[in-house]
Amino acid sequence: MTSRILAICGLTIFLFAVIIFGVPTWRAAGPLVQDTPITVTATVARLVSWRPHLHFVGTLRAHWGTALSFQTEGLVSQIGFHSGQRVEAGTILAQLQLNDETALFAKYAAQADLDLINLKRDTAQLMAHAVSRALVDHDRLTLAADRAQRDAEQALIATKTLRAPFSGRLGIRRIDPGQYLTAGSEVVTLQSIDPIYVDFFVPQRYAERIHTGADVAVSLDSSPEDLVRAHVTATTPALDIASRTLMVRAAMSNPDERLLPGAFANVDLAYAEPIPLVVIPQAAVLYHPYGKHPASDALLNFSGLGQL
């Protein structure tokens, strides 16, 4: 009985202490757990003209671009360019060592000149009936054969001379003087990038909206605010069977050569006329499982303006 009385007294003292000391502490901490007030701002919803467009990812391509190489093998005897140089079409870039090609060319050229002299002399004698027609025919065929040999040697010499096929800017030099090259070894790259192309692929559902001459806006990830205007120059006549996409090529001016081949590009294609729309901040949109709607009702007046 005594222990029960002591337990009841202890419990009473504990509850009394909680009431005395706990209630003020709870009241003091109460304001700290209250919800933070929500900041409410207002903005003007404006009526703007918006043009529907499609977005694609494309790749920049050079107007002309190739890796230059020799058609034959040999030792590099001369190099007439440096890395990054701008060259004109026909500029001699490199030369392979010539062995007996020059001497053979001179030999057949001299024989062709002699054959021509003999042909003219025998033709004159034929008119005087001093020689037979067979001799004149033989002179004519001999001249043709020696000219063919001369042209063959000239063509062989040309294969050992590397010229720029078009005007543009060279890449990094891959050869050195005295180096032995096999046929097809890369010497240097040549790119002409003004104008420059952008190739991109359009899904089948949008293919009918693409036509030659359509305007597109091109930008790079490094400078998305700098838009370059381009126009569609060509499309493939059929869709790709594997991806069901249409390949499209657009051309644009690149006078400062800021755009480089191989880079990824963002392509925006407008496919309809501008339409008027009311624009509101993204923060004014609430997202719910049943859809999204403005955070508050927009009261629009007849002028097309409103306030959220």
Mean pLDDT for the chain?
84
Whether residue 22 is predicted with pLDDT greater than 70 in this model: the reply is no
Whether residue 306 is predicted with pLDDT greater than 50 in this model: the reply is no
Report pLDDT digits (tens) over 97-137: 988 888 888 999 999 999 999 888 888 888 888 888 898 88
Q: What pLDDT sits at residue 19?
A: 65
Q: What pLDDT sits at residue 298?
A: 46
Alpha-carbon distance of 62 to 262, in angstroms, equals 8
Whether residue 148 is predicted with pLDDT greater than 60 in this model: the reply is yes
Q: pLDDT band at 79, cuts 50/70/90?
A: very high
Q: Amino acid identity, residue 159? A: T
Report pLDDT digits (tens) over 176-222: 999 999 999 999 999 999 999 999 999 999 998 888 999 999 999 88
Whether residue 270 is predicted with pLDDT greater than 70 in this model: the reply is yes
Q: What pLDDT sits at residue 304?
A: 44
Q: What pLDDT sits at residue 249?
A: 97
* Whole-structure pTM value: 0.66
Report pLDDT digits (tens) over 163-182: 999 999 999 999 999 999 99
Nearest to 213 by CA among 187, 194, 232: 232
- Ranked by mean pLDDT, which of 51-55, 246-250, 285-289, 297-301 comes out on top? 246-250
Lowest-pLDDT range, 91-95, 168-172, 221-225, 261-265? 221-225
More confident residue, 50 or 151: 151
Q: Phi and psi for 234 in degrees, rounded to 5?
A: -165, 155
